[in-house]
Amino acid sequence: MTSFNLCSYSNTNAIFMNADIADEMRLDGIYDLVRDGKWTYDKLKEYAQAAYRDLNGNTAPDLGDQFGFCPGSGKNAWVNAVVGAGLSDDIMHKDSNDYFVYELSDKMYDVLEMYYNMVHEQYVYNGEGGVKFEETPHLFHDGKLSDMLGYRELEFDFSVLPIPKYDESQDSYYCRTYDTFFTMAPTTCTKTELCGAALEALSYKAHTDLLPAYINDTLQVKLVRDEESAEMIRIALDTRTISLAEAYMFSLWGNYNLYSNYICGTNSSPASYIDSVKTQTETQIAEMNETFKELIDRQR
């Protein structure tokens, strides 16, 4: 995640809060919750549940209502909960030889079950593809920092918050970043020192010129509606994290497959779904390790 890779910053995920709805609810002190390390999914669920309103009176949650939480990135949002819980290296771990091995923690099962239960509550709009921040009233909205470029004309005020912790015992917030791309040199490259120097120069120029303009000026000044949001953006950027499994095994552990088959499917047991893809996961990891071994052998 070098400095010239702007996607690492612009695709950092955050929670956007409709400040007008928050004011109506007298929802004070949320920034202090973040600062005190107490901004958790339990808090998000508590406030989101209180925000739900059956505006059209038909007793069924639909787009005519006010929701507490709308996953704006739709199928992407479950990965935020996994990364936010500090599980970015769950699923894939390095062994003593620096090759990947497959392993899941008990916490991974707990996080997936928590997210499944949350998005099936009445106060969450979980429609296919998500919903835009301005399309239907809702308190919390999941998205990425670059989405703020489209929020200049919003008719309501909004605030920015980091991805919540799973619980208060975590040592830090962790905000997912994705589609950051890898910088690679082909194995046929013979001028590795020149290649390294060029990449270092690009990183230096981005660090000194590009990022300050994008972060300190655009994100934290021009696009925010309050000073506290600028502080929250800094927290999100300082804790940005890539999920190894999502980066290497998108088809199995990325946005769509698990979301469609578990989160939105009829199978409410994370254990049974994960067991069903265990063989595929282990096979894909073995194939990757074999590729890495071949690359190492070529360099010897």
Q: Which residue has the tokens 């007298």?
A: 26
* pLDDT above 80 for 259: no
Looking at residue 126, what is its pLDDT? 74
- For residue 289, the model assigns a pLDDT of 93
Please compute the mean of the pLDDT values over residues 98-127 and round it to a whole number.
89
Kindly state the tokens that stand for 125: 């709009």
Residues 6+ apart with CB under 8 A from 214: 6, 9, 10
Q: Which residues of 257-282 are buried (b: 16+ CB within 10 A; e: fewer)?
A: bbbeebbbeeeeebeebbeebeeebe
Helix residue spans in the chain (DSSP H): 7-10, 19-24, 30-35, 41-51, 77-84, 106-119, 192-205, 211, 227-238, 244-248, 250-253, 255-258, 270-276, 278-299
Q: Is the dihedral of CA 276, 288, 12, 151 positive or negative?
A: negative
Average pLDDT over the chain reads 89
pLDDT score recorded for residue 256 = 66
Structure letter (DSSP) for residue 135: T
Convert the pLDDT of each residue in 27-55 to its tens digit: 989 999 999 999 999 999 999 999 999 99
Residues 206-227, mean pLDDT to the nearest whole number: 94
- What does the pLDDT read at residue 93? 87
